[in-house]
Amino acid sequence: AEMGGDGGPGTNPEQLFAAGYAACFQGALGVVARRQKVELPADSTITARVGLQKSGLAFALDVELEGYFPGIETAQAEALMHAAHEVCPYSVATRGNVDVRLKVRG
């Protein structure tokens, strides 16, 4: 609706981007964790929230990636998130173009 559509049911492009980014980032976390010899909990998750911000006449993507790593200390979880952000293809592709915030839950 923000871009002039009817806001009706269905998946929007931001939701699809969020799903792809979260899946890709989870894979990058696995790579980083293996390199650092850290075992990620089986129930760890990445949630991506993607929105649109008005930028003049255009719109810009806005992303928050939230990691949940039960049993891993917050500082280590944050370090893993930052390391994954350096290697995730979505992060690399959007670097400098999209505001991406990293967050650890719990």
Alpha carbon distance 25, 21 (integer Å): 6
Per-residue pLDDT at 6 exceeds 90: no
Domain membership of residue 25 (yes or no) is no
Per-residue pLDDT at 62 exceeds 90: yes
Domain membership of residue 42 (yes or no) is yes
Domain membership of residue 52 (yes or no) is yes
Per-residue pLDDT band for 3 (boundaries 50, 70, 90) equals low
Domain membership of residue 9 (yes or no) is no
pLDDT higher at 67 or 59: 67
Mean pLDDT of 42-65: 92
Alpha carbon distance 58, 76 (integer Å): 38
Number of compact structural domains in the chain: 1
Alpha carbon distance 89, 62 (integer Å): 17
pLDDT given for residue 54 in this prediction: 84
Give the distance between the most distant pair of CA atoms in the chain: 49
Per-residue pLDDT at 1 exceeds 70: no
pLDDT given for residue 53 in this prediction: 87
What CATH number is associated with residue 58?
3.30.300.20
Which amino acid, one-letter code, is at 6? Answer: D
Residues 86-103 as b or e (16 or more Cβ within 10 Å = b): eebebbeebeeebebebe
Domain membership of residue 22 (yes or no) is no
Domain membership of residue 56 (yes or no) is yes
User: Mean pLDDT of all residues in the chain?
Assistant: 92
Q: What is the domain extent for residue 91?
A: 38-105
Indicate the pTM of the whole model. 0.89
